[in-house]
Amino acid sequence: MKEEILRHLCKSLGKDAAHSSVHDWRVALSLALRDRMVDHWFRSTRETYETRAKRVYYLSMEFLIGRLVEDMAANLGLVEEARAALTELGQDYDAVVLNEPDAALGNGGLGRLAACFMDLLASLGIPAYGYGIRYEHGLFKQDFVDGRQVETAETWLTQRNPWEFERPEVQFRIGFGGHVDHHDGKAYWHPWETVLATAYDTPVVGWQGKWGNTLRLWSARPASKFDLESFNRGDYLAAGRSEALARTISRVLYPDDTTEAGKELRLKQEYFFTAASIMDLLRRFLSDHDDIRELPQYVAIQLNDTHPAIAGPELVRLMSDEHNLPMDEAIELARRCLGYTNHTLLPEALERWHVGLLGRVLPRHLEIIRAIDEDQQARHPGSPRILEHDHVHMGELAFIMAHKVNGVSALHTELVKSTVFSDLHRIHPTRIVNQTNGITPRRWLHTCNAPLSNLITREIGDGWVADLEKLKALNQRTGDREFLDAFSAAKRQNKTELADWIAQTCGIAVDPDAMFDVQIKRIHEYKRQLMNILETVALWNEMRDAPDAEWTPRVKIFGGKAAPGYHVAKQIIHLINDVARVINNDPVTGDLLKVVFPANYNVTMAERLIPAADLSEQISTAGKEASGTGNMKFALNGALTIGTLDGANVEIREHVGSENFFLFGLTAREVVERRHVHGYARAAIEASPRLSRVLGQIADGQFSPEDSSRYHGLVGGLYDHDYFLVTCDFDSYFDTQRRADQVYRNGSNWAAMALRNTASMGWFSSDRTIRGYARDIWQVDAVDRAGLE
């Protein structure tokens, strides 16, 4: 390893060890690790090719990967070797690892899920490709200026990316706009502009390095530096046009995690990567099959939400326009290849495109979508329309073009059946299935939490890393005082390290013995960070009223970004920072209560915070969070959850036991009923002196003396249209928090409950999730190559 690192430093980077920076060492180490992956990777590709195995294609606009060095080293079993090599070379391994920028090619849950799936597909030996966009700028960087969120461009690619292989020979021409000619019963699309999609491949090697898949990300290039044909015709503008489009199309990730109404560039991004991926997989298929009708036997395509839903019409277009299949047969063939995962019920997040826009950008696809719509009507008269009110509904399109549609938690799937897709569900009663989300135990326990991970391995061996259900064995230790102490000590160590980091990055001193209460996720009204900060103020009030009472010291930790155009979410950030400033400087409460909100929450920060959390905040309005995956990461790392009956919380509670979960709040059904009660929010506020007091303080400017009306709008909104029922759940949330306080004060009981959580979370490995997809949707075999030689 030492020699390989030195060789890369010299031969690949052209650097002399004596004059190398941390960055150089990190790139050299990454290249050395990548070398070790390549053999596994080639072997897997060869085997898939030779056995003509069915391949899975996971299409996702987002892959929220984070850092890779530790992950790759862990999967290859090379962590100790790498550490030793760098140490012998006089370098600090930890500093080298920290030098890597996060690959933040995603907004949140959906993108992180795609990254976890890539790990599991490789670990289970399923031949698979992830397809996405190689954004030049990932999710924006967040700073706070006077408590307000300020965004700047993220720059992960300004440094060399050592993991990827550029594939200049893999290129597809992607057309946009223009017109369609019809003659002799055939359609000919003449695009107005064209860009080239070129591939960058990152090898993804699974646990113990036995199998490797490819994450192929597309980057846009001008179709030719100066489109010669147009230039010769004297059409200088056309020649420049494709160059301008190529420069923007893979430039930046859209930072909204709910649909932003009909942005043309977004539609072009979606088509760009979907079309390139479909062309690529068809080319691969046709290189060793003659009959395109066999496609469904060899290809399973999974759509991560509707973002790649244009894959349906694109497949139909290629099969009918280029391979001359009849339209209805093309539709049926495409359907047998496609699966669609729904991640949201929020009406504003369901993608729809104006027909004018879609027809302008993709004229042939609009014709095909109309044909799909007619085909569906002919087979199922009265079926919901894909095209309605001048809009193309991507959810309906994805549903109709997929042979299976899945929700991401049991509750969510039931709601998918009974709400957004109820009519389609009636027509296709076996199409919707559930696949509860999961997380990779490698990143989210083994790598991110060394103290706990080592303790578990000492106790039950290391088999749990590949088979998380083995954690169940820890249930026998919940009465073992010595083991509980060791379990608490591991948590304590993580908390001490986090406290040091908080002191350094935020300048706030926190007590590692206080309860670390963490809410980290995108800032959204439905996720109710607002309720959390209101409860914080209420607690502060009561501590000040009786500072000598028996309190449980707390550190409230927040992390998360708001979409740049989401005004209310940005106000909530501002409020949290304003409240933090006041509370953290209050000598009366002192160490009893601190509020910490480090800027720029990302995967790396999650890896730091989750192992150190005592309490996990999963407090969304019931029925709104499709699943959540952060909730799983916390419980696995021995945090107790305070949460509503929403998304996967329901299943987590069933697995860990209701006595080890702090439940509060209205159910999804009660939420819907309550909204029908006239003036429900005002009534809830008036019935709660505690909440009225807090809202009064915020509205009066107690936390924003320099601008006392700053939160009039936010507080007024709660009185008048508290759509997410912060007011209705507030008292029950506050009381449940106090119950958590009491349990925490009795430390040993808390530790036993936390251990039950860790021990019971095996089912939430994405191992189980991927096996479910393989069995119910893709019809491929999971071969456990991790255990094979």
Q: Which residues bind ligand 26Q (CB under 6 A)?
A: 107-110, 113, 254, 256-260, 266, 343-344, 349, 351, 408, 437, 625-629, 647
Instruction: Choose between 160 and 263: whose C-beta lies nearer to ligand 26Q.
Output: 263
Q: Give least dist CB 303 to ligand 26Q, A.
A: 13
Alpha helix stretches (DSSP H) within 214-338: 228-232, 236-249, 264-288, 295-298, 311-317, 327-337
Bridge partner residues of 405 (DSSP): 340, 432
In degrees rounded to 5, what are phi and psi of residue 292? -65, -20
Find out whether 699 and 715 touch, Cβ atoms under 8 Å. Answer: yes
Q: Give least dist CB 257 to ligand 26Q, A.
A: 4
- The residue with tokens 């399973």 is 300
Distance CA 114, CA 105 (A): 11
Q: What Rg value do the Cα atoms of the chain yield, rounded?
A: 27
Sign of CA dihedral 285, 289, 291, 296: negative
The tokens of 162 are what? 């050592």
Distance CA 508, CA 500 (A): 9
Find out whether 416 and 627 touch, Cβ atoms under 8 Å. Answer: no
Q: Give least dist CB 107 to ligand 26Q, A.
A: 5
Calculate the alpha carbon distances from 460 to 80, 472, 481, 523 in Å: 21, 10, 17, 39
Q: Give least dist CB 267 to ligand 26Q, A.
A: 9
Sign of CA dihedral 572, 574, 577, 580: negative
Q: Give least dist CB 629 to ligand 26Q, A.
A: 5
Q: Which residues are catalytic?
A: 343, 521-522, 527, 629, 633
Which amino acid, 527?
K
Give the chain's end-to-end CA distance (angstroms, integer): 22
Which residue sits closest to ligand 26Q, CB atoms considered? 109
Helix axes 327-337, 394-401, angle to 10 degrees: 90
Which residues fall within 8 angstroms of residue 366, CB to CB, at 6 or more apart? Answer: 355, 358, 359, 392
Q: Give least dist CB 299 to ligand 26Q, A.
A: 23
Instruction: Choose between 261 and 509: whose C-beta lies nearer to ligand 26Q.
Output: 261
Q: Give least dist CB 204 to ligand 26Q, A.
A: 19
Please provide the size of the chain in residues: 789
Q: Give least dist CB 672 to ligand 26Q, A.
A: 19
- E strands within 533-599? 554-559, 593-596
Instruction: Choose between 296 and 647: whose C-beta lies nearer to ligand 26Q.
Output: 647
Instruction: Choose between 260 and 542: whose C-beta lies nearer to ligand 26Q.
Output: 260
Distance CA 325, CA 330 (A): 6
User: Which has the closest alpha carbon to 610: 634, 631, 629?
Assistant: 634
Calculate the alpha carbon distances from 391 to 311, 381, 385, 388, 493 in Å: 18, 20, 10, 5, 55
Instruction: Choose between 41 and 601: whose C-beta lies nearer to ligand 26Q.
Output: 601
Q: Give least dist CB 381 to ligand 26Q, A.
A: 31
Instruction: Choose between 214 and 766: whose C-beta lies nearer to ligand 26Q.
Output: 766
Distance CA 123, CA 130 (A): 14
Which amino acid, 410?
A
Q: Give least dist CB 251 to ligand 26Q, A.
A: 15
Instruction: Choose between 8 and 624: whose C-beta lies nearer to ligand 26Q.
Output: 624
Instruction: Choose between 281 and 619: whose C-beta lies nearer to ligand 26Q.
Output: 619
Alpha helix stretches (DSSP H) within 559-636: 567-584, 603-609, 630-636
Instruction: Choose between 110 and 533: whose C-beta lies nearer to ligand 26Q.
Output: 110
Distance CA 27, CA 160 (A): 8
The tokens of 253 are what? 């990730």
User: Which has the closest alpha carbon to 471: 481, 489, 459?
Assistant: 459
- Total H helices, total E strands in the chain: 32, 24
Q: Give least dist CB 628 to ligand 26Q, A.
A: 5
Instruction: Choose between 91 and 644: whose C-beta lies nearer to ligand 26Q.
Output: 644
Instruction: Choose between 303 and 537: whose C-beta lies nearer to ligand 26Q.
Output: 303
Distance CA 29, CA 497 (A): 26
